[in-house]
Structure 1
Amino acid sequence: MSTSTPTLVAARSRAHGPAAALWHAVEVHRPAAEVDAACELALCGALARVDVDQPWPPAAPDVCPACATA
C-alpha cells in the first residue's frame, strides 16, 4: 500500500452576508486536477471551491486567518 503526501491547494469561499469571500487551504490526497472547481472542506471547516490555478498560500490580502497558519 502506498501513501501519498497530502497537498494544500487554494480554495475560494463565497461571500455570505456581511462576510467577504476568503482564500482557504484545502488538503487533498489525490491529484489536484481531480478536485479543481469542486467544493471541499477547508482546514478551518469552511466550504470553499478549489482553484488549482491559485497557489497556496496565495499572494492576496484576503486569506482566512485560520488557514494561513497551515
Structure 2
Amino acid sequence: MRDHGVKLYNVIFPIWLLWLFPGTWLVVLPACFLIDLLVVALTLRYLRVKEAGEKVKAVIIKVWLCGFAADF
C-alpha cells in the first residue's frame, strides 16, 4: 500500500534560504532559539516538573544546537 500523505520538509526554516540570503542568520538564530525555549518551557510546565526554570537553563543550548544539526 502506498502512502499518499502530505510531507512538509522544514517549511519554517528552509536551509536554502540561508545560502541565498546570508543576512537571514541574524533573524533565524534568535527566532529558532525563542521557539525552542518556548517549547521546552511549556513542555516542562505541562509535565509539572519541579524547578522547570533551572532545567530549561541547563538544556536550552543543547536543544537549540540539536535543532540546527537536524536541519542540516
TM-score (ref. length: structure 1): 0.22
User: Which has more radius of gyration?
Assistant: 2
Give the structure with the higher percent helix.
2
Question: Which structure is higher in strand share?
Answer: 1
- Normalization by structure 2: what TM-score? 0.22
